[in-house]
Amino acid sequence: MEKRILKYQQRCFNDYNTSIGLSKKYAFPDGNIIQPLPPIQVKTNSIMIIGAYPSAKFEYRKQITPPFRNRLMPVANNLQPFADEQYFDGVRTRDLVSGRTIREYLLTTLGLDVKDCWMNATQ
- How do residues 7-59 score in pLDDT, each as one tens digit? 999 998 899 888 989 888 889 988 999 888 888 889 888 888 887 666 789 99
Whether 100 maps to a domain, the answer reads yes
The domain total for the chain is 1
Burial environment of residue 34 by CB neighbours within 10 A (0 to 12, 13 to 18, 19 or more): middle
Q: What is the pLDDT of residues 79-121, one digit of tens each?
A: 888 888 889 988 899 988 788 888 888 889 989 888 888 888 7
Q: How far apart are CA 115 and CA 123, in angstroms?
A: 23
Whether 9 maps to a domain, the answer reads no
Whether 112 maps to a domain, the answer reads yes
Whether 8 maps to a domain, the answer reads no
The range of the structural domain enclosing residue 76 comes to 37-122
pTM, to two decimals:
0.72
Closest by CA to 77, choosing from 119, 31, 11, 22, is 31
